[in-house]
């Protein structure tokens, strides 16, 4: 009797194991399938635009879905691509050093009683919805930039640096880049913190044994050892920034323009899609062009994340262990 009970339990455990195995396989293949279906939907929706404009869609600077003379739409994605790239670069210039400083403080310098509260506050910022950042940007950041920051930069640097010239009302690429930086700081800091925490303790102890101070240990032992992971965190933060929609849409001004001045309104790929997707009724080329913008954005985000993951996979420490994020 005991033997039969044990056999029954063994069969039940085997069935549970097989069921869990199937569920894990389904979960493993779900994300690639969803990504492939997303790419197919975007590509299929973009076909009319690809056939109508070809490569000119990527190089055109005019965005007129409904020309005043009643002619065919004239659609070029270059202003949106330009705005996306510029705002992302501005965000990285501000966010990378701050994120690195936060990560180093939390993993190396923070007293134990401050480490967990600091991590909690950073993660709390990452959980704030994008539209809340946008509202804060309109109500506080835009007036602050137009009153204090932008005029100061125009007065001191605008005379000989074109990107800081012109007039400003607070809406523009510079403000959008600043709000993007605030949004990606928690993301970059979290990834960098995990990478820095994965540096072997022996690496730190070796530097201290040679007479290095805590700051010298961080600068000479920790940062060089974790440099690949830090670069990967930057790439992942870049992919996060370039796809941001609502907050940027609310503060960038939404004008199809390529301008050397950071203070003039512009647009990004996500902001164009968010603003104009409801205006495409009866215009198949217009709808296809927005799908093609989505396809471009999907490809950029996929490439950025792929580069980041490849860099993280190469973050191999001594002793045969690796840090995975």
Q: What is the pLDDT of residues 3-12, one digit of tens each?
A: 666 666 666 6
* Structure tokens, 166: 């012109």
Q: Is 256 within a domain?
A: yes
Q: Is 76 within a domain?
A: no
Q: What is the pLDDT of residues 110-149, one digit of tens each?
A: 888 888 999 999 888 888 999 999 999 999 999 999 999 9
Q: Is 8 within a domain?
A: no
Q: Is 133 within a domain?
A: yes
Domain count, the chain: 1
Question: In 10 A of CB 325, how many CB atoms?
Answer: 17
Q: Is 23 within a domain?
A: no
Mean pLDDT on 152-158: 91
Mean pLDDT on 256-279: 90
* Structure tokens, 84: 């996306």
pLDDT > 70? residue 317: no
Q: What is the pLDDT of residues 65-112, one digit of tens each?
A: 888 777 788 899 999 999 999 999 999 999 999 999 999 999 888 888
Nearest to 74 by CA among 54, 58, 53, 59: 53
CATH assignment of the domain containing 190? 1.10.3720.10
161: CB partners within 8 A, 6+ apart: none
292, 278 Cβ separation under 8 angstroms:
no
∠ CA 162-77-42, rounded to 5°: 145
pLDDT > 60? residue 321: no
| CB contact burial 42-81 (16+ within 10 A = b; e otherwise) | beebbebbbebbeeebeeeeebebeeeeeeebebbbbbbb
pLDDT > 60? residue 316: no
Q: Is 163 within a domain?
A: yes
Q: How confident is the model at residue 213 (pLDDT cuts 50, 70, 90)?
A: confident
pLDDT confidence of residue 239: 85
Q: How confident is the model at residue 184 (pLDDT cuts 50, 70, 90)?
A: very high
Length in residues, the chain: 325
Q: What is the pLDDT of residues 22-36, one digit of tens each?
A: 888 888 889 889 989
pLDDT > 70? residue 43: yes
Query: pTM for this one?
Result: 0.86
Q: How confident is the model at residue 325 (pLDDT cuts 50, 70, 90)?
A: very low
Domain coverage including residue 173: 82-275+302-320
Q: Is 293 within a domain?
A: no
pLDDT > 90? residue 203: no
pLDDT confidence of residue 210: 86
Q: How confident is the model at residue 320 (pLDDT cuts 50, 70, 90)?
A: very low
Distance CA 84, CA 241 (A): 9
Distance CA 285, CA 205 (A): 63
pLDDT > 50? residue 280: yes
pLDDT > 70? residue 242: yes
């Amino acid at each position: 009797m005991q033997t039969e009970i044990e056999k029954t339990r063994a069969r039940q455990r085997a069935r549970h194991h097989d069921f869990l195995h199937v569920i894990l396989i389904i979960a493993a293949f779900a994300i690639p399938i969803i990504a492939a279906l997303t790419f197919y939907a975007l590509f299929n929706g973009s076909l009319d635009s690809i056939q109508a404009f070809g490569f000119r869609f990527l190089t055109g600077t005019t965005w007129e879905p409904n020309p005043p003379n009643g002619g065919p739409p004239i659609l070029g994605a270059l202003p949106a691509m330009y705005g996306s790239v510029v705002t992302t670069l501005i965000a990285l210039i501000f966010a990378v050093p701050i994120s690195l400083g936060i990560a180093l403080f939390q993993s190396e310098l923070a007293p134990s009683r401050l480490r967990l509260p600091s991590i909690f506050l950073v993660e709390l910022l990452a959980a704030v919805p994008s539209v809340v950042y946008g509202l804060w940007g309109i109500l506080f950041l835009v007036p602050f930039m137009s009153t204090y920051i932008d005029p100061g930069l125009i007065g001191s640097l605008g005379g000989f640096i074109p990107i800081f010239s012109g007039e400003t009302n607070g809406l523009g690429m510079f403000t959008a880049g600043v709000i993007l930086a605030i949004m990606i700081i928690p993301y970059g800091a979290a990834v960098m913190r995990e990478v820095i925490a994965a540096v072997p303790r022996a690496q730190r102890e070796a530097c201290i044994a040679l007479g290095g101070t805590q700051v010298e240990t961080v600068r000479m032992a920790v940062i060089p050892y974790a440099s690949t992971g830090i670069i990967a965190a930057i790439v992942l933060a870049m992919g996060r920034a370039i796809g941001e929609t609502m907050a940027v849409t609310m503060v960038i001004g939404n004008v199809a323009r390529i301008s050397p001045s950071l203070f003039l309104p512009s647009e990004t790929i996500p902001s164009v899609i968010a603003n104009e997707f409801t205006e495409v009724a009866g215009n198949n080329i217009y709808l296809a062009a927005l799908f093609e913008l989505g396809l471009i954005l999907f490809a950029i985000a996929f490439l950025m994340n792929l580069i980041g993951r490849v860099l993280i996979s190469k973050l191999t420490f001594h002793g045969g262990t690796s840090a995975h994020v």
